[in-house]
Amino acid sequence: MAFWKSLFNNSANAIAPSSKTQSEEETLLKTGETKQESKILFSTTRSIDLYELEELCDAVGWSRRPLRKVRKAMQHSFLVVSMWEERGANRRLIGFARATSDHAFNATIWDVVVHPKAQGKGLGKALMNYMIKRLRQEDISNITLFADAGVVEFYNRLGFVPDPEGIKAMFWYPE
Amino acid sequence: MAFWKSLFNNSANAIAPSSKTQSEEETLLKTGETKQESKILFSTTRSIDLYELEELCDAVGWSRRPLRKVRKAMQHSFLVVSMWEERGANRRLIGFARATSDHAFNATIWDVVVHPKAQGKGLGKALMNYMIKRLRQEDISNITLFADAGVVEFYNRLGFVPDPEGIKAMFWYPE
């Protein structure tokens, strides 16, 4: 049984994950310093507009990818987590991560992104801890990822060990 | 659309992958030195008995895993390849590998195993080349794996680069 399964909603470019478990939303952080209270919300079920996701990925300088393939990748990910900033009736996608998995032993986390304006507040850490919690709830024992050199230290602080026992990340390149 | 989708056949402990493409079998090697010709066959569709797979994994000294979870992992793998030795009417499972994937960008190869008696004949290389070919046919551009120190050189010869551009394999361990 898939923990996370995506469905299309009426909008052609929105991905609306559905889940058999009840509410998959969680409000983790609230800040009320300004006139209107802002809150940060994590979800595995909320519909994600692909253009909004692309805008988020553009903001951190990622290469553009065909939306058709992004949609397919999300549909076939085991877990997709979105992070939102809500202020009154407005909400904005400020973070994203997903994981592939065999639903039994292994999960591999891909495409972790936090909007530059939301960085430096512990939100990347909160997003990753939310991912880990969800994967552990699904009894996945081996949580893995491939980290660029610049973020190894970030993941290390979250409990990820680089190249443990001499294990290497290997990427295939055509000859 | 899933490239590889597993189904149970009548035997409770056999996994019979099914595929929308026609024949997924391929005979790559033939040896006819002995009285009866033996051939090596690769398949993405052939039914795999879980006890026979366990015997193969035992032969290389892997820790045992619950068959229930092995079955689930195979069902949710994107690609499962089995390698068989056939001699007349007899056939024997001598190799196995599988990959998880988002069906769009990434695939990660797991559980690559070749029976000790079949090693040293280039069959591990043939098995991996078959995996790579299948993944490339499905338009997967990023083929990855986590390699134990002892097999880094083996995969390197197949075109896998260890820790490219400083990318690290990271594994999460509970605090």
What DSSP assignment string belongs to A73-121?
Answer: HHHT-SEEEEEEEEETTEEEEEEEEEEEE-SSSEEEEEEEEE-GGGTTS
CB-closest option in A142, A146, A170 to B161 = A170
For the segment B49-106, what is each residue's pLDDT rounded down to a tens digit? 999 999 999 999 999 999 999 999 999 999 999 999 999 989 999 999 999 999 999 9
Which of A15-19, A85-89, B123-127, B166-170 is least confident?
A15-19
- How many domains would you assign to chain B? 1
A156 occurs within a structural domain: no
A109-130 CB burial, b ≥16 within 10 A, e <16: bbbbbbbeebeeeebbebbbeb
A101 CA: distance to closest CA in chain B (Å): 6
Tokens (6 digits) for A96: 């994203």
**Residue A11 pLDDT level (bands cut at 50, 70, 90):** very low
Q: Kind and range of the H or E element at A38?
A: strand A38-43
Residue B155 annotated in active site: yes
What's the complex ipTM? 0.85
Whether B103 and A145 lie within 8 Å, measured CB to CB = no
Mean pLDDT of B115-129: 96
A30 occurs within a structural domain: yes
- Is residue B77 within 8 Å of B100, Cβ to Cβ? yes
Task: Quote the percentage of chain B above a pLDDT of 90.
Answer: 75
B174 occurs within a structural domain: no
Task: Quote the percentage of chain A above a pLDDT of 90.
Answer: 75
Whether A106 and B100 lie within 8 Å, measured CB to CB = yes
Best CA proximity match to A172, nearest among B53, B159, B152: B159
**Residue B132 pLDDT level (bands cut at 50, 70, 90):** very high
For the segment A77-98, what is each residue's pLDDT rounded down to a tens digit? 999 999 999 999 899 999 999 9
**pLDDT at residue B24 in the model:** 64
Nearest CA in chain B to A175: B159
**Residue B174 pLDDT level (bands cut at 50, 70, 90):** confident
Whether the pLDDT of residue B31 is over 70: the answer is no
Whether B101 and A70 lie within 8 Å, measured CB to CB = no
A159 occurs within a structural domain: no
Tokens (6 digits) for B154: 């083996």
Which of A9-13, B127-131, B134-138 is least confident?
A9-13
Whether B172 and A156 lie within 8 Å, measured CB to CB = no
**pLDDT at residue A26 in the model:** 73
**pLDDT at residue A94 in the model:** 98
How far from the centroid of its chain's Cα atoms is residue B125's Cα?
11
Whether the pLDDT of residue A49 is over 60: the answer is yes
A109 CA: distance to closest CA in chain B (Å): 10
Whether A152 and B146 lie within 8 Å, measured CB to CB = no
C-alpha distance from residue A87 to each of A31, A35, A57, B78, B174 (Å): 10, 10, 22, 40, 34
Average pLDDT value for chain A:
86
Name the catalytic one among A51, A130, A155, A173. A155
CB-closest option in A77, A105, A144 to B171 = A144
Whether the pLDDT of residue B157 is over 50: the answer is yes
The one-letter amino acid at A96: F
Please return the burial class of A54, using the count of CB atoms within 10 Å of its CB with bins 0-12, 13-18 and 19+.
middle
Mean pLDDT of B156-161: 97
**pLDDT at residue A110 in the model:** 98
Mean pLDDT of B26-41: 70
A101 occurs within a structural domain: yes
Whether the pLDDT of residue B37 is over 50: the answer is yes
Domain of B75: which CATH number?
3.40.630.30
A26 occurs within a structural domain: yes
A167 occurs within a structural domain: no
A34 occurs within a structural domain: yes
Domain enclosing residue B137, as ranges = 5-166
Which of A17-21, A101-105, B60-64, B150-154 is least confident?
A17-21
**DSSP code, position A62:** P
